[in-house]
Amino acid sequence: METEQLADFVKRNRIHFSAELTDTNPNMASDDQWMRAANHWKVTFRCEGRQLTTYFSQGSGISRDPSAEDVLDCLGSDASGIENVNSFEQWACEYGYDTDSRKAEKTFKACERAAAKLEQFLGADEYQHLLWHTERL
């Protein structure tokens, strides 16, 4: 199967997107210096009566608003990392986290929840297509 550009994936699925600037991202640790300087967004995807709302953060050096493609790229990347492992310990080793870290486990669980929400929003077939058959940005 050929890979698809993210912009084409968004268009083909008739995904509508909006982003609203917020002060924080509740999925990130507030003691992280990068997080305090980053731009945080509450983003919403809509498609055929379904909706997915989540938070998205980007470095302070990025001066443009995020696009649907930006956020789907990150969500797809995180979800594929979850799909490729069988446990938190395997995920932690894959991404260089300490397997004894509660903070790392919290990140893993947030990625699991986000992946489940993304699959529910897109449906199983389009979720798989996003993860394995779209080009990453």
Q: Domain spans of the chain?
A: 6-132
Q: Look at 93 and 28; give whichever has higher pLDDT.
A: 93
Q: How far apart are CA 97 and CA 123, in angstroms?
A: 30
Tens of pLDDT, residue by residue over 31-73, are 667 777 899 999 999 999 999 999 999 998 998 999 999 999 9
User: Which residues on adjacent β-strands are paired with residue 19?
Assistant: 43
**Cβ–Cβ under 8 Å, residues 137 and 5:** no
Task: State whether residue 23 is helix, strand or coil.
Answer: coil
Tens-place pLDDT, residues 67-119: 999 999 999 999 999 999 999 999 999 999 999 999 899 999 999 999 999 99
3-state SS, residue 20:
strand
Q: What are phi and psi of 64, to 5 degrees?
A: -100, 155
Q: pLDDT higher for 77 or 26?
A: 77
Strand partners, 41: 21, 56
Instruction: Tell me the mean pLDDT in the region 118-131.
Output: 98
- Is residue 130 within 8 A of residue 10, CB to CB? The reply is no
Query: How far apart (Å, rounded) are the C-alpha atoms in residues 35 and 82?
Result: 23
Provide mean pLDDT across the span 2-11: 96
